[in-house]
Chains A and B, each alone.
Chain A
């Protein structure tokens, strides 16, 4: 069984500043994936970034990067140069590295970018 915990229900950041969203997880899988999804007010689930657990290098996608600490089971998301369009719910999720790839989601962090 997998569990994902996001301990920050809400966060805010000034435009152009940097913010870090926290996520911890627990899994019995030896190979697994971790994801951050963004859900703006439109409700659409949008993939932000993904990390394969067997890779030591932290994933980056433009202004988005992760800090993956495998031993601590921590997977935080850093957003640099925050933009108004980053305002959204952010969900951390984990899934097995093989089989059906079922995802387990955290409860989400509501991020507000302030002009």
Chain B
């Protein structure tokens, strides 16, 4: 049981490039989340999903897109990378019965 896995662990992008951060969970959780953590700050919610085919914006969605075609996967897409998107990105999941979120190990993204 791997829990929540994220790839890649690290990535450097040039301004204007695109990439997809991958997130997979094997706990059969309906709910999944993407957060970003800027230096010296707490986590802020980017997008979340309550089930396959259902997604919604969080606090800081601009510059990102998500999709949820399966229960297990919740990829985060950056279309035109900007320096302001330099951050650590965390994926998390939870079940409808329990509010506790389980986090992946994070992806450190640098945009130069």
Contacts and interface: CB of A to CB of B under 8 A. Distances in A.
Contact of A101 (B43, B88, B101): B101
B101 A44 contact: no
A44 B106 contact: yes
Interface in A79-111: 91, 93, 95, 97, 100-108
Interface residues of B, number: 24
Contacts of A11: none
B42 interface: yes
Contact of A35 (B31, B90, B100): B100
Contacts, number: 57
Interface of B (DSSP majority class)? strand
B99 A97 contact: yes
A114 interface: no
B42 A100 contact: no
A71 B41 CA distance: 27
Which of the listed residues B43, B58, B105 has the most CB atoms from chain A within 10 Å of its own CB? B43
Which of the listed residues A46, A91, A102 has the most CB atoms from chain B within 10 Å of its own CB? A102
B100 A100 contact: no
Contacts of B41: 107-108
B58 to A, nearest CB: 7
Interface string B55-97: 0101000000000000000000000000000001010101000
Given A4-B42, A33-B99, A33-B100, 13 more contacts: A43-B105, A44-B103, A44-B106, A45-B92, A91-B42, A91-B43, A100-B50, A101-B31, A103-B33, A103-B43, A103-B45, A105-B44, A107-B42
Interface of B: 31, 33, 40-45, 48, 50, 56, 58, 88, 90, 92, 94, 99-103, 105-106, 108
